[in-house]
Copies of this chain bind each other. A is one copy, B any other.
């Protein structure tokens, strides 16, 4: 499935009270975003929501009807606050039985480590009817894919391994490349020339980002687009602009 057709789109749904209380700083969005960029999939939006069943069900149904892919993170562990699988099953109107292959994966993992396979641990083998498993190379308990929705763990290392394992399943889009020119000029100094360049290349997305790098404030001028020849021209124009204004 690596054909280039209509450009695929995606949304990320980060689920967890800890992200909205400020306890946890998310890093999953940036990781997913980078991988989407590498596949040519346009990540259109992300949402952060709480562990509230009707909110999860409603938001998931909204996003899955709107985008080619939806990636969720969080809420698939063994404890009472892990309700994502239940909510995904509800959103799709399907049951959530123990999945024999997921159960076998967990049982083998528990046996190897002398862990008691209690009822809570086996909750992690409940998979919505019709879903495909997503491998968890870190701690066995699988994620899953149902239709266009991918359900991943919230722990970054596990989420990353799950996402990487499904990348071959995803349709690829035309790649968006980027070039960056750094400078020490103020945004207000370059704004007018930058606007001129942007208007000459409407299909290029030209952004201007101030930030600290190695202790000093630098401006990153980033041009993104699908046409690498055009980007090379824009990069040369940006470099000339910086030289002229320095």
Residues on A lying within 8 angstroms of B by beta carbon are 12, 17-27, 29-37, 43-51, 55, 77-81, 115-116, 118-121, 123, 155, 176, 178, 186-192, 194-195, 198, 205-211, 222, 224
A24, A178, A190 interface centre (most CB from chain B within 10 Å): A24
Q: Which residues of B contact A80 (CB under 8 A)?
A: 191, 194-195, 198, 206
B21 touches A211 (CB 8 A): no
Q: Which residue of B lies closest to A33 (CB)?
A: B22
Given the interface pairs A79-B208, A80-B194, A155-B210, the reply to whether A22 lies near B17 with Cβ below 8 Å is no
A37 touches B25 (CB 8 A): no
Each complex incorporates copies of this chain amounting to: 2
B120 touches A192 (CB 8 A): yes
Q: Which residues of B contact A17 (CB under 8 A)?
A: 205, 207, 224
Given the interface pairs A79-B187, A192-B119, A206-B80, the reply to whether A36 lies near B22 with Cβ below 8 Å is yes
B20 touches A25 (CB 8 A): no
A186 touches B25 (CB 8 A): no
A187 touches B44 (CB 8 A): no
A47, A188, A191 interface centre (most CB from chain B within 10 Å): A188
A211 touches B47 (CB 8 A): no
User: Which one, B22, B43, B190, B210, contacts A30 given CB within 8 A?
Assistant: B22
- Please report the C-alpha to C-alpha distance between residue A195 and residue B77 in the assembled complex, in whole angstroms: 13
B191 touches A79 (CB 8 A): yes
